[in-house]
Amino acid sequence: MKQLPKEFYAAMEELQAVDFVLVELTLYLDTHPEDYPSINQFNQFAKERRRLKRVVESMYGPLQQYGNSYSDYPWNWAEGPWPWQI
């Protein structure tokens, strides 16, 4: 099973932090639809997440399936390390 580079862990943690902020903002915006600054922040973080996802996937491989992530060649989404193994 391929070893993950050291930078992967920092990038993954950052991705998790951005994901958490997006979850919090989504829940907040569900009850505050007119809050313009928060929507701005949400969009910034969504854009940031797309960049981070590319960084993480360049080292790890596809994070999601069914078209949510590009696939490498050969088709290797089932190869390790799995999220609980990293």
Partner 1 sequence: MSSHRRVWYPYVSPFDPCPPIKAKAYSTPPSLFLGYQPPNLEQFTPMEALKIGTLWKVFYDPWYSPYEVSTEEDQS
The residue behind tokens 């099973």 is 1
The two structure tokens encoding residue 15: 């991705």
Residue 72: other Cβ atoms inside 10 A = 13
- Applying CB under 8 A, which of residues 4, 14, 59, 62 lies at the interface with partner 1? 14
Q: Residue 38 Cβ, how far from partner 1 at the closest point, in Å?
A: 7
Answer whether 59's CB lies under 8 Å from 11's CB. yes
Does the footprint of partner 1 cover residue 28 (CB under 8 A)?
A: yes
Residue 22: other Cβ atoms inside 10 A = 16
Nearer to partner 1, 16 or 65 (CB): 16
Q: How far is it, in rounded angstroms, from Cα 68 to Cα 86?
A: 21
How many residues sit close enough to partner 1 to count as binding (CB under 8 A)?
16
- Applying CB under 8 A, which of residues 8, 38, 55, 69 lies at the interface with partner 1? 38
- Residues lying near partner 1 in the complex (CB under 8 A): 13-14, 16-18, 20-21, 24-25, 28, 31-32, 35, 37-38, 45
